[in-house]
A and B are shown apart, each in its own frame.
Chain A
Amino acid sequence: MYKILEKREIAMRNTWYKVHAPHVARKVQPGQFVIVRAFKNGERIPLTPVMWDREEGWIVLIVFTRGKTTARMAAELREGDGILNIAGPLGNPVEMKKFGKILAIGAYTGIVEVYPIAKAWQELGNDVTTLHVTFEPMVVLKDEMERAVGRHILETVPIDMTKSFPENMKNVTKRLTEKARELLEKEEWDLVFMVGPSGDQRAVFEVVKEFGVPMKADLHPIMVDGTGMCGACRVTVGGEVKFACIDGPEFDAYKVDWDVLISRSGYYTDMEMMAMQEYMKALQGGGQ
């Protein structure tokens, strides 16, 4: 059990958890993740330590409410409660070296995963620009980002309540690619890095490719154990099968087979939606 020291909603559908997890805090490096199991009958899901204190033994997780597990965490976990399991840190740290001028992009809550990496790259002497594209009410880590890197660009997209969520997401994709193109046209870059939904990663990659700038992407396939035991997280990179949890999660965007990644990430969508609907029903029933 890992005690929740702080919990609060920092933006719409974004929850901040400061958790006592000294075994992770003492070792974690930017680019690594943890696997969390919050409930007895719960799923194991990957999340990212965004900040940590090695001495005090805590980490911060910022979680986007997406499906049942993340919704349950937001609804049912309270300060002072425990999270059952936090395994890690897992995966490989990002390469810590001087690349030069870096554009680090985060779509939606992906920016929280960019934060520790961009901060460390900047501290190492790189010139880091971060770009965060998200919906207006979902802005997170703005001040922290501004303090951590040379330049933080925030692009917000309004939510059109008359349209569905997926329709609205298309506007984010559009803004991401437009802004990326603008920055690539105006300035010279040594590296682009991106975290976000794989569809958006691919869309941005298509733009970056035109400019021939090296690009790395943090991939988010579905994971179960996170230790190389199950093979759920396999991705095709450079024609080879790789396990994102032990070979990644960061890969060369030019070598990733995006079709395979996108199709594998959506394999359980129907079941996930069913679970979410049942959970919402139960929540409403319980509230009467």
Chain B
Amino acid sequence: MAVKRRIIKERVPTPERPPEERVKSFVEVNLGYTFELAVKEAERCLQCPYDYAPCIKGCPVHIDIPGFISKLVEYRDDPDRAVKEALNVIWACNSLPATTGRVCPQEDQCEMNCVMGRVGDKVNIGKLERFVADYAREKGIDEELLFEMVPRIEKKGQKVAIIGAGPAGLTAAGELAKLGYDVTIYEALHEPGGVLMYGIPEFRLPKSIVESEIDKLRKLGVKILTDHVVGKTVTMEELMKEYDAVFIASGAGTPRLVDAPGINLNGIYTANEFLTRVNLMKAYLFPEYDTPVKVGKKVIVIGAGNTAMDAARSARRFGVEVTIAYRRGPEDVSARVEEVEHAKEEGIKFVYFVNPVEFIGDGNGRIKAVKFEKMKPLDERDGRGKRKIVGTGEYVTLEADTVIIAIGKHPNRLIVNTPGLKVERGKIVVDENLMTSIPGVFAGGDAIRGEATVILAMGDGRLAAKAIHEYLTKKRESKNA
């Protein structure tokens, strides 16, 4: 396709709701591209050759990015066809593009080394991916494509159990179902989706998107048993007996707490509790929805990852003053750039180099203020490339009637205690095929990585599905031999 192209330096912007409007509601902030705008942005891509394209190398699941982008341009006169072709390319590597297009840290992955960056703005790959997925969903193109695949599914007669319905579990379930396995997901909560459902807020990832992904899985024949807590409702041993293979995708659900006096005062939430109340239980609609949440007037969020931004921006939507307190400096904030920008636009304050040492109560069991030690950075860097920090012995106290702790999580203890399952520092140990120390039991996502990303969890889901397929193929063949 040798179309002569003029280089367009600037990104085609995606419309966003203005900050004044969005801090009053939980509706999605970024409105995404229309077909016309998507084509315009797609035209900016230089169509680097597959073997060279730095965007493909940067994407953890190696989507053929120029490949899908070119379809939008090629079939510009037939939007449905363009989207269907593009989706087909994306689906070869990624089954949740509506989600990843919204939540991937694109600036560190696919967009990081985009060649367009040398002459102007990088191509907005994330928003294009999101566009394809959204358009396909709205027009039913995704189901059409899915059901073109379904008649070809050949039943294998083997059963796989998946623990956890987050991105890792959902992805593996889809892949395995397409390969003809009988798949059952065990999910502890009342809704499947994992962090996509209980953690990431509606204004960043509308829940209807996650629901539609799950709907498609059900149509592929995947069974989802909610309210089933593995380790309690069923044991790992029972699953291992009943199924031919097991995939553990239970995430990193247990919140870490700040080890400082006063941590159990009222008004101190973990980000998980706060976000679960707000997102999963819809506490922002109390009392129409029955679950309460208290946001007070002055909120301090401790931490500066995606979880902290989500908690801060959710709290801000209750019309209160919100401050993010981080023990390191601005260059080490780990959240996606877009979220940090949105947080700042929405009026959230950032305080750097402060580490909480005490939570001060009001005498009635409620939080009143947080005492922080001021920190200072050193020139040295730690293993993750972040600047080391030390205490200065100076303190500062900030008032707060609500504190949200967002300093990370460890894997869920209920599974980790399985006899024979090798675990190091709370994370399940796996080999290069994601098999654990127990044959036939595989694991992936945050359960093996600690807190990571949606796309890595998904990538693990795909890899595990492939490995499970190989493992079960051998099992079938040895039985037949």
Contact = CB atoms under 8 A, between A and B. Distances in A.
Contacts of B234: 23, 27
A275 B286 contact: yes
Interface in B258-280: 263-264, 266-267, 269-270, 272-273, 276-277
Contacts of B233: 23-24, 27, 87-89
Contact of B253 (A42, A224, A228, A234): A228
Contacts of A79: none
Given A236-B264, A278-B287, A231 B257 contact: yes
Contacts of A65: none
Nearest to B254: A228
A227 B233 CA distance: 11
B281 A224 contact: yes
Nearest to B235: A27
A232 B294 CA distance: 13
A272 B286 CA distance: 10
B264 A264 contact: yes
A99 interface: no
A235 B398 CA distance: 25
Contact of A85 (B227, B273, B277, B282): B227
Contact of B229 (A69, A227, A268): A227
B189 A225 contact: yes
B392 interface: no
Contacts of A42: 289-290
A37 B294 CA distance: 21
A216 interface: no
B470 to A, nearest CB: 32
Contacts of B263: 234, 241
A88 B190 CA distance: 11
Contacts of A231: 255, 257, 269-270, 272-273
A43 B232 contact: no
B475 interface: no
Contacts of B270: 230-231
B266 A229 contact: no
Interface centre among A24, A228, A241, A257 (most CB of B within 10 A): A228
Nearest to A264: B266
A224 B277 contact: yes
A288 interface: no
B226 A43 contact: no
A228 B277 CA distance: 15
B413 interface: yes
A85 B232 contact: no
A176 to B, nearest CB: 24
A112 interface: no
Given A43-B281, A229-B272, A90 B229 contact: yes
B187 to A, nearest CB: 9
Interface in A257-274: 257, 259-260, 263-264, 267-268, 271-272, 274
A229 B254 contact: yes
A286 B234 CA distance: 43
Interface centre among B229, B266, B272, B281 (most CB of A within 10 A): B229
Contacts of B267: 267
A228 B227 contact: no
B292 A268 contact: yes
Contacts of A68: 287, 290
Contacts of B480: none
Contacts of B288: 41
Interface string B122-134: 0000000000000
A119 interface: no
Nearest to A227: B188
A231 B190 CA distance: 18
A225 B365 contact: no
A240 to B, nearest CB: 10
Given A241-B264, A263-B266, 17 more contacts: A43-B290, A43-B291, A44-B190, A86-B227, A87-B228, A88-B232, A90-B232, A224-B291, A227-B189, A227-B253, A229-B253, A229-B412, A231-B270, A234-B257, A259-B365, A272-B292, A278-B287
Please provide the 4 A-B residue pairs with the shortest distance between their CB atoms, ordered closest to farther.
Answer: A263-B365, A87-B227, A230-B273, A231-B270
